[in-house]
Amino acid sequence: MDSTVAHQLLELNRHFYTEYGREFSATRERLQTGVLRVLNSLHGDEAILDLGCGNGQLARFLSRRGHRGSYLGLDFSLPLLSEADREPFGFPVEFREMDISLANWRSKLRPFSFDSIFAFAFFHHIPGFELQVNIMKEIYNLLKPNGRFVFSNWQFLNREKLKARIHSWSEVGLSPEEVEPNDYLLDWKRGGIGLRYVHHYDEDELAQLAKDSDFEIEQSFYSDGENRKLGLYQVWKKIL
């Protein structure tokens, strides 16, 4: 993908989550079934990095569970982050405004290293395979040797109602040839009408992404929604 197109898609999503951040947050008051399955595997003392932390719902759940390790949540949306600190936490929690699509974001976190890095319903907003690999390599370097990267990707093509929300690329001045396969433009109709970029991953694509960023896929499963197929979850471990 051309860097100017990738930049345009990133800006499209920045605008969306700034303009509709509060409305989006109102629809994210509970954790998905797949996320709960992942969190149930924690021991309670892990140092956690949460990419695309949104309104802090994951941190609140961990606090209620008595988590003892540290938590750092990153997101570029100030409207979402403004919802994150609305109640005290029972363990060390920090939220930061940060855009991990920008260069050198990892250097701003030093000397942090993490047992678990999460990216739930977030990574499908990163455009272009090259940028995806670059970010995965940064995640690799932030993980402890025995750490795990766990992320989910929205499988909207598995539901007809969601497929109906797909729009033409021409609405944002692009053509299908300028984006990558499985890139889509989806609408949002709450508090107004917005558009955002979403990539629909399949397992073969994720396998290639893991290989190119020196990860091994430890676990893969589908969850969420009435059909339990709206989220593709994977657990990756470092190849040392």
* Beta carbons within 8 Å of 33's beta carbon, 6+ residues apart: 223, 224, 228
Q: Is residue 6 within 8 Å of 131, Cβ to Cβ? A: yes
Percent of the chain with pLDDT over 90: 85
What pLDDT digit, counting tens, does each position of 3-30 carry?
999 999 999 999 999 999 888 888 888 8
Predicted pLDDT at 28: 83
Would the pLDDT of 107 be above 80? Answer: yes
Read off the pLDDT of each residue in 43-69 and give the average, rounded to a whole number: 96
Read off the amino acid at residue 153. Answer: N
Q: What is the pLDDT of residue 120?
A: 97
pLDDT band at residue 93 using 50, 70 and 90 as cut-offs: very high
Give residue 240's pLDDT band: very low, low, confident or very high (50, 70, 90).
Answer: confident
198 band by pLDDT with thresholds 50, 70 and 90: very high
Give the pTM.
0.95
Instruction: Give the mean model confidence (pLDDT) for residues 140-154.
Output: 97
CA 31 to chain centre: 14
Average pLDDT of the chain is: 95
pLDDT exceeds 90 at position 111: no
Distances in whole angstroms, Cα of residue 236 to Cα of each of 23, 102, 138, 157: 32, 23, 14, 24
pLDDT of residue 86: 81
Instruction: Over range 114-127, report the average pLDDT.
Output: 97
86 token code pair: 């609305």
**Residues 208/195/101/212 CA torsion (nearest 10 deg):** 0
> How would DSSP label each residue in 58-110?
HHHHHHHTT--S-EEEEES-HHHHTTTTSS--SS-EEEEE--TTSTTTGGGGT
If you average pLDDT over residues 88-114, what whole number do you get? Answer: 91
Radius of gyration (C-alpha) of the chain in whole angstroms: 17
Domains and CATH numbers, the chain: 3-238 (3.40.50.150)
What pLDDT, on the 0 to 100 scale, is given for residue 206?
Answer: 98
With a cut of 90, say whether residue 182 has pLDDT above it.
Answer: yes
Band of residue 167 on the pLDDT scale cut at 50, 70, 90? very high
Residue 49: phi and psi, rounded to 5, are -115, 125
CB atoms within 10 A of CB 64: 10
Instruction: Tell me how long the chain is.
Output: 240
Alpha-carbon gap, residue 21 to 19, rounded angstroms = 6
Q: What is the mean pLDDT of residues 191-212?
A: 95
